[in-house]
A and B are shown apart, each in its own frame.
Chain A
């Protein structure tokens, strides 16, 4: 059974609520429980917001597309943009063992994506950044 849904947003974090609605609809169609849906919302938001913040030069409008596919026992989100080459999987993760005084303010986003998703892969294809996030789901 193949099921694909797509959404395109601009690089504007105020559009995140539209992303949330999209992810909720995908999760509901896939029969996922609310705890899993919430974690997927979080991982997808973090990955998409990274694109919104870093892929395009400041002041430029750019698109980010999110495709969701369910096949076999996997839910896959593919996040695509045509911005500058940016591989979030090579970003340094937050050190979650540091104390409050030592913790830098950033670095949480990619850590959450890695913790929540079962696999992440990045490719640069034809001038596009393509990030695939996969979660194994029970049927």
Chain B
């Protein structure tokens, strides 16, 4: 599981590559710390190369969303494949985030 964060056009983009299962989420929680420290910027969670996510990964996304919204920013989720979209639908997360293709 590889996480990279970069700034693009004033937004913070976090790209996730691989399987975000419970084991991987321990490290990913540390890797996404810069997102929780941002100041009102919009965040893009780029999931184009994300193959799998379980509840611990969803929990990380939710924490980012809560932190960013509290600072007046938005969180966009980008590039979810169909299987991941169904996981977001099952958990109601499809209604919590905004999506980009």
Contact = CB atoms under 8 A, between A and B. Distances in A.
Q: Is the interface of B mostly helix, strand, loop or mixed?
A: helix
A111 interface: yes
A49 B22 contact: yes
Contact of A45 (B21, B26, B59): B21
Contact of A100 (B22, B26, B90, B96): B96
Contacts of B44: none
A106 B95 CA distance: 17
B73 to A, nearest CB: 12
Interface residues of A, number: 31
Given A38-B52, A115-B90, A15 B66 contact: no
Given A17-B21, A42-B54, A46-B55, A105 B91 contact: no
Given A94-B91, A112-B55, A13 B26 contact: yes
A103 B58 CA distance: 12
Contacts of A116: 90
Interface in B26-60: 26, 52, 54-56, 58-59
B83 interface: yes
B77 interface: no
Given A16-B22, A16-B23, A109-B55, A101 B66 contact: yes
A105 B62 contact: yes
B4 interface: no
Interface in A21-75: 34-35, 38-39, 41-42, 45-46, 49
Interface of A: 13-17, 20, 34-35, 38-39, 41-42, 45-46, 49, 94, 96-101, 103, 105-106, 108-109, 111-112, 115-116
Q: Which 8 residue pairs of A and B lie closest in terms of their CB atoms, listed nearest first?
A: A96-B92, A108-B55, A16-B23, A13-B22, A100-B96, A109-B55, A115-B90, A49-B22
Interface of B: 19, 21-23, 26, 52, 54-56, 58-59, 62-63, 65-66, 69, 82-83, 86-87, 90-92, 95-96
